[in-house]
Amino acid sequence: MAREKSNPLFASPGGRAYSRSSAEAVVSREPLASRLRPRTLDEFIGQEHIVGPGRLLRRAIQKDQLSSIILSGPPGTGKTTLARIIANSTRSAFIALNAVLSGVGELREAIDKARQHHELYSLKTILFVDEVHRWNKSQQDALLPWVENGTVVLIGATTENPFFEVNRALVSRSRVFLLKPLEESDLLAVARFALSNTERGYGAYSVDFEPGALEHLIRSADGDARSLLNALELAVETSVDAWPPESGANILVDMGTAEESIQRRVVLYDKDGDYHYDTISAFIKSLRGSDPDAALYWLARMVYAGEDPAFIFRRMLISAAEDVGLADPAAIQVVYSCAQAFDRIGLPEGQYHLSLAALYLATCPKSNSLMGYFDAKNAVEQEAAEVPNHLKDANRDAQGFGHGEGYKYPHAYRDHWTAQQYLPDTLKNRIFYFPGSLGLEGLRREDILQRREVQLSLSEDEGDGTGQKSPKGGFVWSREGERRKTWRTRAEGGASARLKAARLFLFDHLDLSPSASLLILDPRKGFYALEALRRLSEGSVFAFLENDEALEQFSRLSGDLPELSRPMTASPALAAAGWPQNAFGHENFDQIVLCETIGSHYAGLDYWAYAEEAIACGVKGGKALCVFDMLGQASSGLANMLKINNGADRDAAFIKELEAFENQRGGGPSLDRQTILGIADSERRLRKALGGIPDSELSWHEEIVHYRRDASRQEIEAWLDPEGDYTKDLIDALGGKAIDTLHRLLNEHEGNLLWPLYLRLGRVDPKR
């Protein structure tokens, strides 16, 4: 009889591999979770996204063509089991180490064996390192050259985020697979396997459960198969007087036994790892998002897992300033008082004070206007500015240098305020603080804005101390990092709400299966392509972006996805003639989507050359083709907005005249004549590109959606600027009184408005 292959992963403490008979002899003494550990991929349950039929890892294991991989995921999700399956199926030498128990010495010994395997037997070696994140940097560095030169193929297993806890060089040379907690359906399959398997499980007995008992074990396992099997073993074997019973015995597991078998749900939490940071992040985001239910859940999860209450209070004190701020300045006092009370009382009663602070923050109004401080800090770092003369200290140098001359003492004026310049000359008109509209800050907002308007309109005659008159419409707005808008009218004008509404319309009307292959032309640096990634959970996204800057930004946004899930991207620099074949290597797309064809496009791009090729690719390949646009002409019209906000027949005749004028002009005040001509030209180019498609195959769907936006007084003044194209055109068409009437109507509707957004989707569906 041929000897079985020896594998170090299954070696006995003395180093001798178990024979089949000796393994059977010890089965009864092994824990159930160990006995039932899958031995083949067919027995492996769950993680279909990486080991399901046709998936890359499954193919690599079956063909024994594995390259270095890192398996990352919570306990009990199958990382070590996959390694054992690889050990059973590979023709390579297999060496296993545990980073908790092994150091550099053991690693060197393993590397020496791997070199011998290669030199003497021409065998490659697979090195499995469990808990690889437990090795420090120098230990991981010691492994790197042997992975790099191919001496070993690494399988690393870790419960931490490998992108933070594993040497970056190792990660870059490995394929990372993220294992997820098992679904309840997967855990049910594990339980059924344990109860039906006669060789390794409880198939020799008739095991029944009280209604809800097995479900309780599954829910309480929290996605951990090992936790479920340990609890199942305890529940089954303590439900009889003596173990093992006679073959065929009836065993009933009641609810009480099930609850005792898994008394606590295992909360995944590591104070130094991802769970710690992910949970506190979820807690703070729940507070910021004003969700008291989620805030209490994440708070309870942290307390249950033993998190330091001082750490939780520290983060809530930060949130009270960062996320609540001036909307409710009392928030920081409430949280601080709760923290002091907790210090006196401690646990368990201190949980009331933790809950009080969390609920207060979750339910009070929010404002992040304090972020303006960081804009001011950036201005300090970037610009050297002198203190204006009238603000300098008059006590020391007033006589010699005139310091303090021209300063207006606010208390000498009505309401203890008067307009004067307080910023340095080089920063005059700079805005750092954007008042919110909620809570106490909202009550003060109007006064703040009105005073600012006066402040920003100061002239030399009014003694502003600058020696210059304010430029016309001089509003220069600061930025809050990369995501802050430059102009307040854009930030408060609902740009974000508008784009979200448009994207939702587009993808709700696209007929996409989760596994589809989609080519998308995206003019917004991946804004639409990112939603495609979310919708196509098992599909492929190929995104064409308009320049390399957009390509770089989109790569950053999608860079945290597993390598095999990331979209394929191209820009003009990467897409040669004959694209998309040359850019992506094929034209096998299920659907092609062109977004905002009649919008503005990057000036250095011949957009229509690529759009026409994409349309031609869809037509000749018989693929579904969609063209999506936000119709700026109709969406920008003030008449369309007034019709839904005016709410009365008053001025209906004027609004009808205004609508006719804007329709004839081609748009509202945000569109100048040049932009309107550009839109018309884009519309002609689109019709030309679609000209080869029969009308029977081309259908158009138009829809009006509404979103909320703020119309500030400054924005209204900008719309009706006497020097603007819109105002001049309106006066030519309807006369000067039309401006006065429109001014009155817009001022009546200043503030939060319901705004119409006109959307259009053209579809060519060869299956139709």
pLDDT at 16 over 50: no
Distance CA 218, CA 196 (A): 17
66, 158, 72: which is closest to 562 by C-alpha?
72
**Token reading at 219:** 């829910």
pLDDT at 12 over 60: no
Helix (H, G, I), strand (E, B) or coil at 505: helix
* Cα diameter, the chain: 111
328, 317, 331, 339: which is closest to 360 by C-alpha?
331
Q: How confident is the model at residue 560 (pLDDT cuts 50, 70, 90)?
A: low
Q: How confident is the model at residue 459 (pLDDT cuts 50, 70, 90)?
A: very low
What would the mean pLDDT of 697-705 be, rounded to a whole number? Answer: 89
**Token reading at 223:** 């996605």
Q: Which residues of 746-757 are buried (b: 16+ CB within 10 A; e: fewer)?
A: beebeeebebbb
Structural domains present in the chain:
8-30+47-178 (3.40.50.300), 184-261 (1.10.8.60), 274-366 (1.20.272.10), 370-484 (1.10.3710.10), 515-630+671-705+756-768 (3.40.50.150), 637-669+713-749 (no CATH)
**Token reading at 267:** 């909360």
Convert the pLDDT of each residue in 275-320 to its tens digit.
Answer: 677 888 889 988 888 888 888 888 988 888 778 899 999 999 999 9
- Residue 497 Cα to chain centre, angstroms: 17
Q: How confident is the model at residue 8 (pLDDT cuts 50, 70, 90)?
A: very low
pLDDT confidence of residue 447: 67
Q: Which amino acid appears at position 511 of this protein?
A: D
Higher-confidence position of 259 and 459:
259
Higher-confidence position of 270 and 643:
643
338, 341, 340: which is closest to 355 by C-alpha?
338
Convert the pLDDT of each residue in 347-375 to its tens digit.
Answer: 888 999 999 999 999 888 888 878 877 87
Question: Which phi and psi angles does 413 have, rounded to 5°?
Answer: -115, 160
Lowest mean pLDDT, pick from 408-417, 668-677, 700-709: 408-417
Alpha helices in 125-254 (DSSP H): 137-148, 162-165, 168-172, 184-196, 213-220, 225-237
Higher-confidence position of 273 and 663:
663
Residues 485, 495: contact at Cβ < 8 Å? yes
pLDDT more than 70, % of the chain? 79
pLDDT at 192 over 90: yes
pLDDT at 9 over 50: no
* Vertex 219: Cα angle to 536 and 32 (nearest 5): 105
Give the mean pLDDT of the chain: 79
Q: How confident is the model at residue 22 (pLDDT cuts 50, 70, 90)?
A: very low
pLDDT confidence of residue 165: 84
Which residues lie across from 698 on neighbouring strands? 764
pLDDT confidence of residue 561: 67
pLDDT at 760 over 90: yes
What would the mean pLDDT of 612-627 be, rounded to a whole number? Answer: 85
pLDDT confidence of residue 593: 94
Higher-confidence position of 93 and 650:
93
Task: Tell me how crowded residue 319 is: count the other CB atoms within 10 A of its CB.
Answer: 24
Residues 125, 118: contact at Cβ < 8 Å? yes
Higher-confidence position of 55 and 426:
55
Convert the pLDDT of each residue in 25-43 to its tens digit.
Answer: 334 568 898 889 888 888 8
Residues 335, 320: contact at Cβ < 8 Å? yes
Helix pair 652-665, 725-734: axis angle to 10 deg:
120
pLDDT at 87 over 80: yes
pLDDT confidence of residue 603: 82
Q: How confident is the model at residue 445 (pLDDT cuts 50, 70, 90)?
A: low
Convert the pLDDT of each residue in 514-533 to its tens digit.
Answer: 778 889 998 888 888 888 88
Distance CA 721, CA 730 (A): 11
Distance CA 188, CA 45 (A): 10
> Look-up: residue for tokens 């008082």?
337
Convert the pLDDT of each residue in 461-510 to its tens digit.
Answer: 333 332 323 333 322 222 222 222 222 222 223 456 777 888 889 999 98
pLDDT at 415 over 90: no
Q: Are strands 250-253 and 624-630 parallel, antiparallel or unpaired?
A: unpaired
**Token reading at 359:** 């609920």
Helix pair 351-363, 292-304: axis angle to 10 deg:
150
Convert the pLDDT of each residue in 150-176 to its tens digit.
Answer: 889 999 999 888 888 888 888 888 888
pLDDT confidence of residue 468: 29
Element (H, E) at 634: helix 632-635
pLDDT confidence of residue 767: 59
Find all residues with CB under 8 Å of 313, minimum gap 6, and list them: 335, 338, 339, 342, 354, 357
pLDDT confidence of residue 272: 56
pLDDT confidence of residue 14: 32
Which residues lie across from 130 on neighbouring strands? 98
Find all residues with CB under 8 Å of 59, minimum gap 6, and list them: 65
Question: Which phi and psi angles does 109 have, rounded to 5°?
Answer: -60, -40
Locate the DSSP E strands across 596-746: 624-630, 698-711
Residues 131, 75: contact at Cβ < 8 Å? no
